[in-house]
Structure 1
Amino acid sequence: MTTADVLVVIGGLAAIAAIAFFFWGPRRGGYRVPVTSGGYQEAMVLVKGGYTPDVILVERGKPVRLNFRREESAACSEMVVFGDFDKSARLPEGETVSVEFLPEESGEYGFACQMGMIRGKLVVE
Structure 2
Amino acid sequence: MMRAIRTLTAACVVLLACNEAAESTAQEPAPVESRHEVSVGAHGYEPSTIEAAVGQPVTLVVTRTTDEGCGDVLAIPSRDIRRDLPLNEPVEIRFTPSEAGSIRFTCGMGMYDGTIVVQ
The CA deviation at 1:75 is 5.2
Task: Work out whether residues 88 and 99 of structure 1, in 8 Å CA contact, stay in contact via their aligned partners in 2.
Answer: no
Q: Please, which of 44, 64, 68 is the counterpart of residue 70 of structure 1?
A: 64
| Alignment partner, residue 58 of structure 1 | 52
CA distance in 1, matches of 2:101, 2:32: 21
Aligned counterparts of 1:42 and 1:78: Cα–Cα separation in 2:
21
Residue 94 of structure 2: SS of its match in structure 1?
strand
Does the aligned pair in 2 maintain the 1:112–1:119 contact within 8 Å? yes
Give aligned pairs, total.
89
Question: Post-superposition, which runs of at least 4 consecutive aligned residues in structure 1 deviate over 3 A?
Answer: none
Deviations 1:63-110 (A, max 9, x none): 100000110103511100001111121100010000000100100111
**Residue 82 of structure 1: aligned partner:** 76
Equivalent residue for 1:101?
95
Query: Gaps (5+ residues) in structure 2?
Result: 1-30
Whose Rg is larger?
2
Structure 1, unpaired ranges of 5+? 1-37
TM-score normalised by L of structure 2: 0.71
Within 5 A, what are the aligned runs for 1:9-48? 39-48=32-41
Identity of paired residues, percent? 33
